Amino acid sequence: MARITLTLPSQFIFNTRLTVRVSDINYGGHVGNDTILALMQDARVIFYKHLGFDGEISFEGSVGQIIADAVVVYKSESFLGDQLSVDIAVTDFNKYGFDMFYLITNLNTGKETARGKTGIVCFDYEKRKVAPIPKVLLKKLQAA
């Protein structure tokens, strides 16, 4: 069976650290595969707050973001209490969005835990439709 490969950008623009919580652990005793997406979201929200936004749904007026697609490649286990480093990169800008990449490394073991990509599309929550990237967001992302 062919495996998905995900090539990461050569440069990351943001880093944050997260601690594995008990709610992140599955019945196998390690971070659950579904939790990796939640950790990516946590890191993304921290990144947006670092840029001066309240979160993911309010970049400018009623325009926020939605996730159009997601890819995760799992590399190694992480356990309760482990410290995870999450690096973020943004690429492939278009009129309505961009791709965000994540490199998750377990600081306790030094091993790569996972890598991921989410396709970000800007969305007007009042009009309930796709919207162009707000200029303020684009400017901050390109300056980061």
The pLDDT tens digits of the residues spanning 65-111 come to 999 999 999 999 999 999 999 999 999 999 999 999 999 999 999 99
| pLDDT value at 1 more than 80 | no
Coil, strand or helix: which one is 100? strand
**The overall pTM is greater than 0.85:** yes
pLDDT, tens digit, 9 for 90 and up, residues 25-55: 999 999 999 999 999 999 999 999 999 999 8
Count of H helices and E strands in the chain? 2, 6
| Mean pLDDT rounded to a whole number for the chain | 95
- Cα–Cα–Cα angle for 67, 123, 5, nearest 5°? 20
pLDDT of res. 47: 97
How far is residue 80's CA from residue 32's CA, in Å, rounded to a whole number? 11
pLDDT, tens digit, 9 for 90 and up, residues 3-33: 889 999 999 999 999 999 999 999 999 999 9
pLDDT of res. 100: 98
> How many Cα atoms are found within 13 Å in the side-chain-facing hemisphere of 1?
2
How far is residue 23's CA from residue 7's CA, in Å, rounded to a whole number? 29
- Residue labelled with tokens 């377990």: 106
List CB contacts of 131: < 8 A, sequence separation 6 or more: 63, 96, 122, 123, 124
pLDDT of res. 2: 80
